[in-house]
Amino acid sequence: MASCHADPFQMLTRTTTALLEDLVDPANEAVWREFDERYRPALFGLARRLGLREEDAADAAQETLARFVAGFRRGDYDRTRGKLRSWLLGIARNCVVEMQRKAYAKREVRGVSAIVDLPAEADIEPLWDNEVERVLLERSMAELRQHSRISETNVHAFELIAVHNRTPGEVADQLSISVNDVYLAKHRCLKKLRERVAELRELYDVM
C-alpha cells in the first residue's frame, strides 16, 4: 500500500466514478493505487483534524481505505442509505475512534480516561470538505510548477506573494523583475490555479 505521503503531484484525469467502476476488480492494482493516492492525503488530514498523532493518522487513513475498498467490492455500499462519501466518512470515523481508544488504553495505567469524544458524522463532513480543498490546492500548485507553460520565474513570484506573503516590491527586487511583471505573474498563476482546482473538484465528483 502507498504511503500517506504518496506523491500528491500526480496528474489526475479520471473521475472517481470511473475509478470506482474499475475498483471492483481485485486484480486491478493500478486502479487501487490511483484511488489510494487520490484519497489518502485527505483522509490523513481528516484524522489529524480529529486529534490523531501523525503516525496514528497514517494508520487510520490506510485502514479506512482498506475497509472501504473491501466493503465496496463485497457490495456493502447501499445507495439508498446515503451518499458514498457519507459511507466513507463513517468508516473513517470508526477507524479514528479505534486508534484513539488504543492510544488512550496505553495511558490508562497512568489514570487517563479512555473515553473518546469525536464529532458526529454529519459534523465531520465540513472537515472532510476542507481537507479535499486543501489537497486540490496542493495538487494544482504542484502541477502549476511542473506541468504548466508558465515560466519558473512567474511561478516563483506567485509563490512568494501567495504563500510567503511578500510584497510585490520585495518580490520584484528579489527576482530582478518589474513590479508590473510581478502583478502579471500573480494574475496568470492565479487564473491557472483556479481553473485547475475547478477541474480537479469535478474529478472528485461522488466524494
Cα 170 to Cα 145, 159, 166, 177: the distances in Å are 21, 13, 6, 10
Q: Is position 136 within any domain? A: no
H or E stretch at 199: helix 179-203
Q: What residue numbers bound the domain in which 55 lies?
A: 1-128
Burial of residue 36 (CB within 10 Å: 0-12, 13-18, 19+) is buried
Radius of gyration over every alpha carbon of the chain, rounded to an integer in angstroms:
20
The domain total for the chain is 2
Closest CA to 62 of 28, 87, 35: 35
Q: Would you state the cell numbers that stand for residue 108, as one nine-digit string?
A: 490508562
3-state secondary structure string, 45-90?
HHHHHCCCCHHHHHHHHHHHHHHHHHHHHHCCCCHHHCCHHHHHHH
Q: How confident is the model at residue 8, as a pLDDT?
A: 43
| Mean pLDDT estimate for the chain | 87
Residues 123 and 153 in one domain: no
What gap in Å lies between CA 92 and CA 207, rounded to an integer?
Answer: 13
Verify that 84 and 113 share a domain, yes or no: yes
**In contact, 58 and 4? CB cutoff 8 Å:** yes
Q: Encode pLDDT of 12-49 as tens digits.
A: 778 888 888 898 898 988 888 889 999 999 999 999 99
Cβ-contact 149, 134 below 8 angstroms: no
Q: Kindly state whether residues 16 and 115 are assigned to the same domain.
A: yes
Please check whether residues 116 and 181 belong to one and the same domain.
no
**97-126 tens-digit pLDDT:** 999 888 777 765 455 555 566 777 778 999
Domain boundary among 128, 163, 186: 128
Q: Which residues contact 109 (CB under 8 A, 6 or more apart)?
A: none
Helices 179-203 & 168-175 angle (0-180, nearest 10): 100
**pLDDT confidence of 72, banded at 50, 70, 90?**
very high
> What number is the average pLDDT over the span 162-174?
96
User: What is the average per-residue pLDDT within 185-192?
Assistant: 95
- Is 154 found in the same domain as 120? no
